[in-house]
A = this chain, B = another copy of it.
Amino acid sequence: METKQTQKAKKKKKAGSAKVTHDEKRLEIIACCATLFDKVGYHGMSMQMLADEVGLGKPTLYHYFASKADILFEMHQLHLGAVNDSMDAESAKASDPGELLIKACAIALREISQHPGYVRAFMEHYGDLEPEHREQIKKRREEYLARITSIITKGMESGQFRKFDPKITTLSFLGMCNWAYKWYPRLAEQTPPEQMAAQLCEVFLEGLKLPRLKK
């Protein structure tokens, strides 16, 4: 899934500059960093290791990012940006709440399969963000949570879903989807996100939907 930032970087490239732009280099550094996080962990990685991996001097690396926590923040932003952009696109296409929940799950699974490093950092290193960054991310996370709750509440109001506690229902649903960062990367090749999302949400959606009349 392309984020607005990736699109922006691509547009700059199209505009004729053969030179790697500042934004593109930042994305390249973030991608290297995600791979290193996956190999040695957030705390095991140093800026020197990252500089070596990207092939930059350490001072040049600091020109792009002030610190490791700064890269971590950018990963959070990229992940949330990708998820939100995709949710905007899906919400414009479909309005059925059951379908939208499967789409939300598929979006999470796609991020997990394409960027396992960002997603692991997002799931496990929120506490390592700088305090002011943490506040921003907290707000964006809460907005996403509210977005899912709103789909569920609308489904209940329209009578497509049965009535349960919308907040607990949101937590059940998100747990089911988010936990997949632990096991989905190794299955992604054989079962793509859309197909896995439909399977993963099946029992839950059966419970949520009003029972169909028997013929």
Contact = CB atoms under 8 A, between A and B. Distances in A.
Copies of the protein in its oligomer: 2
A63 interface: no
Interface in A168-212: 168-169, 171-172, 174-180, 183, 196, 199-208, 211
Contact of A205 (B41, B44, B207): B207
Contact of A200 (B168, B183, B196): B168
Contacts of A202: 164, 168, 207
B176 A180 contact: no
Contact of A204 (B124, B172, B177): B172
Interface of A: 41-44, 124, 127-128, 162, 164-165, 168-169, 171-172, 174-180, 183, 196, 199-208, 211
Contact of A179 (B42, B44, B162, B174): B174
- Determine the main DSSP class of A at the interface with B: helix
Contacts of A200: 168, 171-172
A134 B140 CA distance: 35
A41 B124 CA distance: 11
29 contacts: A41-B43, A41-B127, A42-B43, A43-B43, A43-B44, A164-B202, A165-B199, A168-B199, A168-B202, A169-B203, A171-B183, A172-B176, A172-B200, A172-B203, A174-B179, A175-B175, A175-B178, A175-B179, A175-B180, A176-B176, A176-B179, A178-B179, A179-B179, A203-B207, A204-B204, A205-B207, A206-B206, A207-B208, A211-B211
